[in-house]
Copies of this chain bind each other. A is one copy, B any other.
Amino acid sequence: MTHGTDTSDRGRVLAARVESFVREVIIPHERDPRCGPHGPSEEFVHEMRGWARDAGLLTPHILADGSHLTHRETALVLRAAGLSPLGPVALNVAAPDEGNMFLLGRVASQDQKARFLQPLINGSKRSAFFMTEPAGEGGAGSDPSMLKTTARRDGDYWIVNGRKAFITGARGAGVGIVMARSEEGATLFLVDLPDPAIHIERILDTIDSSMPGGHAVVRIENLRVPASQVLGESGAGFKYAQVRLAPARLTHCMRWLGACVRAQQIASEYAVKRQAFGKPLIEHEGVGFMLADNRIEMKQAELMIDWCADVLDSGAAGTVESSMTKVAVSEALFRVADRCVQVMGGTGVSGDTVVEQVFREIRAFRIYDGPTEVHKWSLAKKIRDEALKAAGGVMSR
C-alpha cells in the first residue's frame, strides 16, 4: 500500500515466483527421508539448490551485480521462501548463510569476497558463524570480556584457541567466520572448512530440525589463520557482529512468518473438513476464534517486520527496532503455531503435516538470536534512560 514503486514491484514479482517454486517444487519433497533431526543432508541440500538454480531462484535476494534487495523487498521474498521449512535452505536464504553473506558483502575485502563470499552466493558452500561459547548466550555472545576464545599473533599468522557452542551448520560448512579475542579486542577470522584444528565435538539434539548440519559444539585447537583472513580490522569484531545482527534477526522473522502462513492454511483447511459434535470444527467458535487470533497476530508480525525493514533501509542500525521486532514476532508466531497445533488435535502433534515441525522450530526461535528476555532487558534500559532524561524536566502528571 505504502509503496507503489518499481522497486517494490520487483519484490512482489520475485516473491510470487519464489512462492510458486516452494509450493510446486519443494513442498512435495518435505518428507524426503534425507531430512533428519539435524536437518536435511548435504546431498539433499545440494539437490534442492540445483532445482532453485534451474528456476533462476537461487540466492534470490542478491542481484547479479552483488547488490541486495531492500530489506522491505527481502521481507516478501523470504516470507515466500519460509512457506516450507526446506524453502530457505533450498533457495540459499537460510540462516546462518544469509547473515554471513550480508556481513561479508559489507566488510570483506575484494579478495576475501572472491574466495569466501562467492561460493556462498552461488550456493556451492555453506557457512557457519563461530561466536557463541559454551558459557552461553549471555556470555560471550554479548559481553566482550566474557569471550574466552583467544587469538594471538605468530608472525603473519594468528593462532586461535577456544570452544564454541550452538554453532549452526558447522558440520558440512565450507566457510567459517570465527570470533576470538586478540590484544585489540574481538576479532573475526575467515577460514576454510573443514579444518583439522576445528574439531566438531558433537551435534546437539535440539527441538528444531530444519538447519543443515544442526548445531555443533566445537573445539578449536591451534587454528592457524593467515593475517589476510582477518575480516576487517582486528578488535572490531563486535562492531561487525552488530552489522550482521539486526538484519539476521529480521530475516529469521520473515522466514518463520512464512512458515506460520502455511501452518494457518493447513489448520484452516483441516478445520473446514473435520467434524466435531455435529458440525465442522471451524464452525466452533473455540476453533474459529483461535484462527482469528492467528490472522490478527500474523498481520501484526508482518507490519512489525515491514516497519523494521524500513528502518534498516533508511540506513539506521535498527538495533532497538530489530530487538522489538524479534520479541514481538517470535512470541506471536509461537502462539500462532501453538494454536494451529491445537486446532488439529492429535494430527497437530504428529508429523503428518508440517505444523508440528513449525511449532518446534519457532519454540527454538524464541531463544536463538537472543532470548526474548535479553531483548526486553535492553529495551528496559533504553526506556529507563529516556525516562531519566525526561524526568530531568517537569514530571508528567
Contact = CB atoms under 8 A, between A and B. Distances in A.
Interface of A: 1-3, 27, 30, 132, 135-139, 142-143, 165-166, 204-208, 215, 262, 265-266, 268-269, 271-277, 280-289, 291-293, 295-296, 299-300, 303-304, 307, 310-311, 314, 324, 327-328, 338, 341-342, 345-354, 356, 359-360, 363-364, 366-368, 371-374, 376-377, 379-381, 383-384, 386-388, 390-391, 395-397
Given A27-B397, A303-B307, A346-B136, A265 B384 contact: no
Given A205-B350, A268-B386, A372 B293 contact: no
Nearest to A143: B277
Copies of this protein chain in the complex: 4
Contacts of A207: 349-350, 356, 359-360
B282 A300 contact: no
Contacts of A380: 282, 285, 287-289, 291-292
Contact of A288 (B205, B274, B381): B381
A162 to B, nearest CB: 17
A275 B30 CA distance: 40
B1 A272 contact: no
Nearest to A321: B299
A383 B324 contact: no
A136 B276 contact: yes
Given A142-B277, A345-B367, 18 more contacts: A132-B346, A136-B274, A138-B274, A138-B345, A139-B276, A262-B396, A268-B387, A269-B395, A288-B376, A292-B376, A296-B328, A303-B304, A341-B367, A342-B366, A342-B367, A342-B371, A342-B372, A354-B397
Contacts of A1: 307, 310-311, 314
B138 A373 contact: no
A312 B134 CA distance: 46
B266 A373 contact: no
